[in-house]
């Protein structure tokens, strides 16, 4: 064995066969995305706080907010975090049937929350609070509307995962998809806690 061959054997070239773990890459990308989303919602909440008292001739928060109703809707959304955790644990055990049940339960709770938000917005409009009524109305609807859109996206992702498992297309390695959607869903819940506290509870 020559000297060069011995050196090569003792110090193999790892660069040619070194690839980043796809799971780590996906998780890192998800956290970066969620970090940018936190900044996005932070700017919307800040804008609302700047305009919360500028009601012009329209109704103020205390005139239209129904805290008991919104509290129930908030509880429904927070309970969906529990069902999402159960879905993730079932996926970790490769119990696809239980995973499917909890994914559908999470999606159902998300849809109940969205239905409550639509009803709430309808009532606000009847009481005179629209997007164009005042800076308060504009900032409120933009903030809560964007959050509702994020919930809707999460519901679509949950249903997609559930129906993929129904069709037999769910492989063992795709349990990571459940974890990714779970991170997104928990983010949506955490943001709503902040919105409910700052926008609803502190304004009445």
pLDDT at 204: 60
Query: Alpha carbon of 33 to those of 36, 46, 178, 183: distances in Å?
Result: 5, 20, 17, 11
Range of the domain at 129: 20-51+72-203
CATH of the domain at 176: 1.20.120.80
Please name the residue that has the structure tokens 């773990």: 21
3-class DSSP state of 167? coil
Instruction: Tell me if 155 is assigned to some domain.
Output: yes
CA–CA separation, 148 and 133 (whole Å): 21
Q: Across the 204 residues of the chain, what is the mean pLDDT of every consecutive 10-residue run?
A: 49 55 79 91 94 89 92 96 94 88 96 97 94 94 96 95 75 73 94 95 78
Of the CA atoms within 13 Å of residue 120, those in its CB half-sphere come to: 24
Query: Structural domain tally of the chain?
Result: 1
Instruction: Tell me if 14 is assigned to some domain.
Output: no
Instruction: Tell me if 10 is assigned to some domain.
Output: no
pLDDT at 173: 56
pLDDT at 56: 86
pLDDT at 58: 85
Instruction: Tell me if 104 is assigned to some domain.
Output: yes
CA–CA separation, 65 and 74 (whole Å): 14
Instruction: Tell me if 15 is assigned to some domain.
Output: no
pLDDT at 131: 92
CA–CA separation, 69 and 200 (whole Å): 11
């Amino acid at each position: 064995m020559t000297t060069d061959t011995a050196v090569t054997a003792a110090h193999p070239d790892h660069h040619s066969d070194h690839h980043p773990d796809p799971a780590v890459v996906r998780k890192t990308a998800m956290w970066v995305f969620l970090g940018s989303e936190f900044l996005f919602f932070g700017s919307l909440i800040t804008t609302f706080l700047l305009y919360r008292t500028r009601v012009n001739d329209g109704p103020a928060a205390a005139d239209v907010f129904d805290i008991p109703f919104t509290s129930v809707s908030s509880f429904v959304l927070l309970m969906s975090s529990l069902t999402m955790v159960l879905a993730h644990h079932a996926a970790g055990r490769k119990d696809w049937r239980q995973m499917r049940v909890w994914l559908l339960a999470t999606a159902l709770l998300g849809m109940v929350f969205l239905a409550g938000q639509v009803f709430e917005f309808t009532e606000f409009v009847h009481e005179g609070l629209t997007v164009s009524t005042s800076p308060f109305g504009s900032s409120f609807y933009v903030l809560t509307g964007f959050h509702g859109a994020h919930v809707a996206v999460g519901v679509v992702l949950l249903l997609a995962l559930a129906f993929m498992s129904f069709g037999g297309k769910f492989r063992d390695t795709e349990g990571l998809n459940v974890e990714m959607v779970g991170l997104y869903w928990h983010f949506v819940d955490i943001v709503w806690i902040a919105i409910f506290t700052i926008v609803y509870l502190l304004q009445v």
